[in-house]
């Protein structure tokens, strides 16, 4: 179990450092910034690389909603859920702390601003409402779980699951960054919210509730249409 928890810690650390780091450090640089497209691929690449690196150790969840969905989908032991959540959240917080240290060294540093946090209303990149945020986070997380369960099922081609999962997360970000800055991952949201300026902490509840609901729905959808599990 200690190896599994270490893998979840470092996998989530990499997801937050790579994904949120790309948004904070590289997205908005004039003329050469990677923009939302680059951030979307960065998040997908973090999951793809760590799924190959440590997925064989822990299952490669890196996300409390994924752990819940896999539990409901019959792929994960319920007794391990809370330890996985703790490892994921602490990994995300550690990555956000490292990112904060990096950002604070910028010339003229006066604060981190939104710090790639998730939000709705005034904290949404395009001003979307709380209802829009709830709907998109639930739907995107549900589909993410269906992708994960399908790509790792017995009938799927062996060895390609991390590619499908990474590209699935990329697509999710391409769709939903304008609405919430894309969570689908309560750990990712928690890590950066602790350091962000603005309403990120006050709005964090939504980025636990919606992904967990979506994770459960995705697992139930998969179980309804699959005879594999």
Residues 6+ apart with CB under 8 A from 19: 39, 42, 43, 46, 116, 188
- CATH-assigned architecture of domain 2-225: Up-down Bundle (1.20)
**Which residues of the chain are under the pLDDT cut of 50?**
none
- Region at 214 (left for phi over 0; alpha for psi -120 to 50; beta for the rest): alpha
Closest CA to 179 of 101, 96, 119: 119
> Which residue from 173, 196, 16, 22 is spatially nearest to 90, judged by alpha carbons?
16
Q: What is the pLDDT of residue 158?
A: 87
pLDDT in tens, 98-144: 999 999 999 989 899 999 999 999 999 999 999 999 999 999 999 99
Per-residue model confidence (pLDDT) at position 228: 59
SS3 24: helix
CA dihedral 119, 92, 192, 73 (to 10 degrees): 0
pTM for the whole structure: 0.95
Per-residue b or e along 121-153, where b marks 16 or more CB atoms closer than 10 Å to that residue's CB: eebbbeebeeebbbebbbbbbbbbbbbbbbbbb
Cβ atoms of 76 and 70 within 8 Å: the answer is yes
pLDDT given at position 24: 96
Q: What single-letter DSSP state applies at residue 120? A: S
Residue of 86, 66, 108, 98 lying closest to 192 (CA atoms): 98
Please state the domain extents for the chain. Answer: 2-225
As separate numbers, helices (DSSP H) first and strands (DSSP E) second, the chain gives 9, 0
Question: Are the C-beta atoms of 118 and 189 separated by less than 8 Å?
Answer: yes
């Amino acid at each position: 179990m200690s190896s599994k928890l270490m893998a979840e810690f470092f996998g989530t650390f990499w997801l937050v450092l790579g994904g949120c780091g790309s948004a904070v450090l590289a997205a908005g640089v004039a003329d050469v910034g990677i923009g939302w497209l680059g951030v979307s691929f960065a998040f997908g690449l973090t999951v793809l690389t760590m799924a190959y690196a440590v997925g064989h150790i822990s299952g490669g969840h890196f996300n409390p909603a994924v752990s819940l969905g896999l539990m409901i989908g019959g792929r994960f032991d319920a007794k391990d859920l809370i330890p996985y959540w703790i490892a994921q959240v602490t990994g995300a917080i550690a990555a956000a702390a490292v990112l904060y240290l990096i950002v604070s060294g910028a010339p003229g540093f006066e604060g981190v601003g939104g710090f790639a946090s998730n939000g709705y209303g005034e904290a949404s990149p395009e001003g979307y409402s709380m209802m829009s945020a709830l709907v998109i986070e639930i739907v995107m997380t549900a589909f993410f779980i269906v992708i994960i369960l399908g790509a790792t099922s017995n009938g799927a081609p062996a060895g390609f699951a991390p590619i499908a999962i990474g590209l699935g997360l990329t697509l999710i970000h391409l769709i939903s960054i304008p609405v919430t800055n894309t969570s689908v991952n309560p750990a990712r949201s928690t890590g950066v919210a602790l350091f962000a300026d603005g309403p990120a902490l006050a709005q964090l509840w939504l980025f636990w509730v919606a992904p967990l609901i979506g994770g459960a729905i995705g697992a139930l959808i998969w179980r309804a249409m699959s005879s594999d599990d």
